[in-house]
Amino acid sequence: MISALLSDCVPLQLQKGDREEKFITSGVTWQAYESFLASLGNHSGYRIAYLLETLEIMSPSRNHELDKENIGRLLEAYLEENRIRFWGLGSTTLKREDKQAGKEPDKCYCIGTDKEIPDLAIEVVYTSGGIDILEIYRRLGVQEVWFWQDRKFTIYSLQNDSYQLKSTSQLLPNLDLNFMAQYVTIDDPLEAITQWRNQIKVN
C-alpha cells in the first residue's frame, strides 16, 4: 500500500541543506486514506495529511524533529510554570470523514480541558508547497495554529469559521512567542530549557 501510493506521488520542493521529503497525490478516496493509515500503524516516521481526495506524505528531517521537540518542551515548561492545565497529544491523527480532512500535527494540545479536537496545533515548516494545512485545520475545528518557519512563529486564530493572522496567541495571551523563539534556536536543548525556565518561573 505504501509503495503503491508513493509511486504515484509527485515530490515537492525541498529547502536546500535539509533531507526532508514530501510527496503528494490526488484521487485518493477516504477509504484508501484510512487503509493507508492502518497500514502505517502507530510507529510510522511519516506525517500524513488529507484534504478532499488529495493525500500528502511527509518524511520529516532531523532539523524538523529537533525544532518540534524543542518547541514542545518550551511550551510545556511554560504551561507547567503557569499552572495551566494541558493535554499534549503529540502527532495524534486528527480526522473527520464528513469534512474529508485529516492531519497529523507536529504537536497539538488541549488547553484547560481535554477535548476530542485539540485547541492548538503546531506545524514546523521546512518544505514549501503542498496541501492547504489551514483548510484542513479549519474543517477539523482547531482553534489556533502556530507555524514555525524561518526561526519565527506565525499565529492563526479561528474566528467565525475563518483563520485570522494574529500577532499574539489568543489561547495563551501572556506567552511572548517572539521571546520563546529565541530559545527554540539554542543549539543545546538542556541549556535552552534551563534558561527558559529561569525566565518564566512564577514566584
The model's confidence at residue 44, banded by pLDDT at 50, 70 and 90, is low
pLDDT tens per residue, range 46-58: 899 999 999 999 8
pLDDT given at position 161: 95
Residue 33 has pLDDT above 50, yes or no: yes
Structural domains in the chain (count): 1
Query: Which domain CATH number covers 142?
Result: 3.90.1570
Domain span holding position 187:
2-200
d(CA 118, CA 111): 8
pLDDT given at position 18: 56
Q: Measuring CA to CA, how many Å separate 133 from each of 1, 14, 62, 146?
A: 24, 17, 21, 11
The model's confidence at residue 4, banded by pLDDT at 50, 70 and 90, is low
Burial of 151 (0-12, 13-18, 19+ CB in 10 A): exposed
Which residue, among 161, 192, 198, has the nearest Cα to 72 in the 3D structure? Answer: 192
The model's confidence at residue 41, banded by pLDDT at 50, 70 and 90, is confident
Average pLDDT, integer, range 119-132: 91
174: DSSP letter: T
Q: What residue type is 64 in one-letter code? A: H
Lowest mean pLDDT, pick from 2-6, 26-30, 135-139, 177-181: 2-6
Q: How many CA atoms lie within 13 A of 180 on its CB side?
A: 24
The model's confidence at residue 76, banded by pLDDT at 50, 70 and 90, is very high
d(CA 200, CA 21): 36
Residue 173 has pLDDT above 80, yes or no: yes
Backbone angles phi, psi at 50, to 5 degrees: -140, 135
Q: 60 is written with which cell numbers?
A: 520529516
The mean pLDDT of the chain is 90
Q: Count of CB atoms within 10 A of residue 114's CB? A: 11
Task: Tell me the whole-structure pTM to 2 decimals.
Answer: 0.89
Residue 13 has pLDDT above 80, yes or no: no
Cα angle at 123 between 105 and 66, to 5 degrees?
100
Lowest mean pLDDT, pick from 4-8, 109-113, 186-190, 191-195: 4-8
Average pLDDT, integer, range 126-136: 89
d(CA 129, CA 123): 14
Lowest mean pLDDT, pick from 80-94, 99-113, 118-132: 118-132
Residue 16 has pLDDT above 80, yes or no: no
d(CA 78, CA 129): 32
* Unique residue bearing C-alpha cell 505504501: 2
Residue 12 has pLDDT above 60, yes or no: no
